Amino acid sequence: MVMYPTRYHRPKSLEEALKLHSDNEEASYLSGGHTLLPALKQRLARPSDLIDLAVLPDLRGIKLEKNVLSIGATTTHAEVATSLVVRKAIPALAGMVGSIGDRHVRNRGTIGGSVANNDPAADYPSAVLGLGATVITDRRRIAADDFFVALYETTLEPGEIITRIDFPVPDQAGYAKFRSAASRYAVAAVFVAKFGSAARAAVTGAGSAGVFRLRDLEEALTRDFGPAVVAQCKVDPAMMMEDLAGSSEYRANLVLVMARRALQHLGEACSYK
């Protein structure tokens, strides 16, 4: 199927990218392109201009400073997964990213594109929310709890660009997902993290409203950060999505199974199908 006509731009700076977007009302930013390009091919999107952010070196890179791991928005999944800095600081994050898609997807997809798109079954949103990260844009700093709104919806304003994401380094963290054998997207996945006496737990792939924090589990983990406490928790099936991959009741149970496995394999990321 033929795509609609569009103009492609390779800006040399963030400022040029922002100006291109402001000068073209129907423009779209392009990063990894794993959602936008299929939408173009299926004629579901019709931007007048594509502004390629992946060519901007200032939006790429990984660094650790004062117990905060900063990852540039156009850093690819492959770069994050293989980074010795990430593997040492937050090994569960590196493992999670290594489970995304396949080698081709990881070598093209970017952290900024994934987080901005907020696919309800994507891996990265659970890490951003589970670690209490901060999303940095060209305009402001947005706490993870304020960033995700609903399916494919965030608090990003028109034309706003994610420049990097800052992850606080936890004392412990783990991730487990049950993935679709075909797409490798999460049918249900849980990212858990411990910061001192506090705990966070974020679920992706299962919620009808997208990624969300599992407060019941967080309260239990604050008392005892281990797999045994999962038995004390419940997940409301009414909060779960239902599709060919499973019923809402199935997903509610699967969330708890993945939470238990994430806690059994702290410092790792486990993927099942």
Domains (ranges, CATH) in the chain?
7-51 (3.30.43.10), 59-168 (3.30.465.10), 172-272 (3.30.390.50)
pLDDT confidence of 226, banded at 50, 70, 90? very high
127 pLDDT above the threshold of 80: yes
DSSP for 156-174, written as a single string: PPTT--EEEEEEEPPSEEE
pLDDT confidence of 25, banded at 50, 70, 90? confident
CA 173, chain centre distance (Å): 16
Distance CA 194, CA 130 (A): 9
Distance CA 265, CA 83 (A): 20
Average pLDDT, the chain: 93
Among 183, 182, 188, 189, which residue's Cα sits nearest to residue 248?
Answer: 188
Calculate the alpha carbon distances from 60 to 10, 163, 247 in Å.
Answer: 15, 8, 40
123 pLDDT above the threshold of 60: yes
pLDDT confidence of 45, banded at 50, 70, 90? confident
pLDDT of residue 139: 96
Query: What global pTM score does this model have?
Result: 0.94
pLDDT of residue 43: 80
Mean pLDDT of the region 181-195:
92
Cβ-in-10-Å burial (0-12, 13-18, 19+) of 60 comes to: buried
Mean pLDDT of the region 157-183:
95
pLDDT of residue 177: 96
1 pLDDT above the threshold of 60: no
pLDDT of residue 112: 95
Mean pLDDT of the region 147-152:
95
pLDDT of residue 3: 64
Local structure of residue 266 (DSSP, 8 states): T
pLDDT confidence of 160, banded at 50, 70, 90? very high
Distance CA 74, CA 213 (A): 26
40 pLDDT above the threshold of 80: no
- Residue with the larger pLDDT of the pair 184 and 79: 79
Mean pLDDT of the region 77-94:
97
pLDDT of residue 36: 77
